[in-house]
Chains A and B, each alone.
Chain A
Amino acid sequence: MNKILFLFFMFVSSPLYSDEFTYHCDNEDESYSMVFNINTTEQTVVHTHSINKITKTVYDINKYREVYKWDTDNDSVWLTDYLNIFLNPPSLTIILLNFKRQKMFLQEIHNVLPDSPDFFKSNSPFRNETYECYIME
């Protein structure tokens, strides 16, 4: 009986997930996925893979993401990423990973400049996407 009680208390006191886990996120139309390795003790996020489900392409990224704010109260982390790639206008991306809600919110602004390609001038400089996520131990 004591053993059963011990196991029960171990179960109820354990967190929903451990300090290290994989966070897999799919966009709304499930055409694109992003996979992250999360370490809540070290407060690190590694973007491991991006998957394009339409072209069936898997991209190995393995990039430490810049943590802007680790919100332990709300079990969330905010990431920032500045990109300035040749021919594309510079952009800043904010990614919010909410582990409790199992969601990811991605926002991006492109700095559309007079010499930017027509594609960027004719489209919105903003990108907003919501991803449904799940945790794998």
Chain B
Amino acid sequence: MNKILFVFFMFISSPLYSNEFTFHCDRYDKNVLTMSQIYKVDRKEKTVVWTHSINKRYNRVDNYNKFMDIYHWDEENDSVWLVSYKDDMTFSPSVTIKLLNFEVEKMMTQKQNNFTPRTDKFRRTKISQSHIWDCYILE
């Protein structure tokens, strides 16, 4: 009986997921899965590593292993805000915000392209891009 009680208390006192986990997020465009992004999250160390990006249309997997810049770790709401700046000298510079909400298992992304002489016609019509991703946690 004591053993059962011990196991029961262990179960109810454990968090839904541990401090280290994989956060897998899928993006659907018109109900078709087009992209996935995978992150290794360490809530104790407060680090997020973007490990992979998967393009389902072209069946391409990109390995990143990039530590993301943490803008704000919101412990109260079990969320983290990431901000990144990109200027690869090919396209116009851009800033991307990512919100990873572990509680509701969603990721929201917004990319803002600057309007410069390097901005091509396509990006002139897409200065801003926003997406909601459906995510799940893998221990």
Contact = CB atoms under 8 A, between A and B. Distances in A.
A76 B114 CA distance: 8
Contacts of B132: 125
A24 interface: no
A94 B96 CA distance: 9
Interface residues of B, number: 27
Contacts of A90: 74, 77, 79
Q: Is the interface of A mostly helix, strand, loop or mixed?
A: strand
B114 A126 contact: no
Contacts of A96: 95, 112, 114
B128 interface: yes
A92 B71 contact: yes
Interface stretch (A28-36, A37-45, A51-59, A101-109): A101-109
Interface stretch (B36-44, B50-58, B99-107): B99-107
Given A69-B85, A107-B128, A94 B108 contact: no
A134 interface: no
A112 B108 CA distance: 10
Interface string B71-115: 110100101010101010000110101010101100010101011
Interface in B97-139: 97, 99, 101, 103-104, 108, 110, 112, 114-116, 127-128, 130, 132
For the complex, would chain B's binding face be called helix, strand, loop or mixed by DSSP majority?
strand
Contacts of A113: 77, 101, 103-104
State which size class the interface on A falls in: 20 to 34
Contact of B114 (A68, A74, A92, A128): A74
Nearest to A84: B74
Contacts of B79: 90, 111
A101 B115 contact: yes
Interface in A82-102: 82, 84, 90, 92, 94, 96, 98, 101
Residue in B72, B85, B87, B99 with the greatest tally of chain A CB atoms within 10 Å: B99
